Amino acid sequence: MIATIIATQWRMRVDEPLIEPHPTLDHAANFLYMLRGSEPTPLETQVFDTCLVLHMDHGYNASTFAARVTASSLSDIYSAVTSAVGTLRGRLHGGANTAVMEMLHEIGQPERAEAYVKDLLSKKAKVMGFGHAVYKVMDPRAAILKDLAIRLSKELGRTRWVEMCEIIERVMMEEKGIPCNVDFYSAPVYHLLGIHMLLYTPIFALSRVVGYTAHVLEQYNNNKIIRPDCNYVGDMNRKWIPLEDR
C-alpha cells in the first residue's frame, strides 16, 4: 500500500499517467514498474528487494527510538510512526543517502573524486555516507549494497557512479580510517534504478515502517513510559536579575 502511494504521488508530481499495479509482479518489482512505467529486469528487482530488506530494521536507531518513545506514552501507532518518519527525514539519518547522491553529482567524474574529498577533509567538512554511531568497521549492510551497485552498474553499462564511490571510499580509509555506512552505496544503487533523489527518504520509510510497527507493538506489550534522566551541569546558586536590569 505505501509503495503504491509513493509511486502514484510521484507520477502525479511529474505529470505522468498513473500506472496500475501489475498482477504478476512482486512488491519490489511492482514499485519500480509503477514508478518508471517499465518492468524491471530480474537483477533490478533483486537489488531493490534486497534494499528493502536491508533497511527494514536496525536496532535502536534515532527514528525507531522516536517511535518507541511516542508509543511508550500510550499514544496510537499512527502517531508513533509519524514521530519516526519525522526523525527519519533528517539529513543525518534517512536523508543521508540523498546528500551522498548530491555529492556524487557535484563531483561529476571519477578523476575529480580524490581531490574533492581531500578538499572537504582539509576544511574539516563532513563527507556524507561515512561513520556510524555503532559500527567502527564497515557497515555490513554497506558491503552488500556495494556488491549490488557494482553488479547493477555493469549490467547497465553505467560505471562512473560506482567508480567515484570506490575512490571516495579508498581516500576516506587512507586519510581518516573511516569506513562507509549503509547510506553511501544505497545512493548510486537508487540512482541506477532510475529513482529520483527526492524519493530516497520515502523509500527508506517504505521499508523501515515494518520495523517501526514491530517495535511499537513490542513497546505496547511490555510498556513503561520512556523518560530518561538528565543532569544539570550549569552554574549553581545564580542570582536572579530583574528583566529590566538585564
Active site residues: 132, 183
Do the Cβ atoms of 169 and 143 come closer than 8 Å? no
Among 114, 120, 82, smallest CA distance to 99 is for 120
- Whole-angstrom distance, CA of residue 161 vs CA of residue 166: 9
Question: What SS3 class is residue 90?
Answer: coil
Q: Cell digits for 245?
A: 536590569
Q: Cell digits for 15?
A: 505529470
- Cell 504521488 -> residue: 9
Angle at 160 between CA 95 and CA 36, to 5 degrees: 60
Angle at 169 between CA 32 and CA 90, to 5 degrees: 55
Beta bridge partners of 180: 130
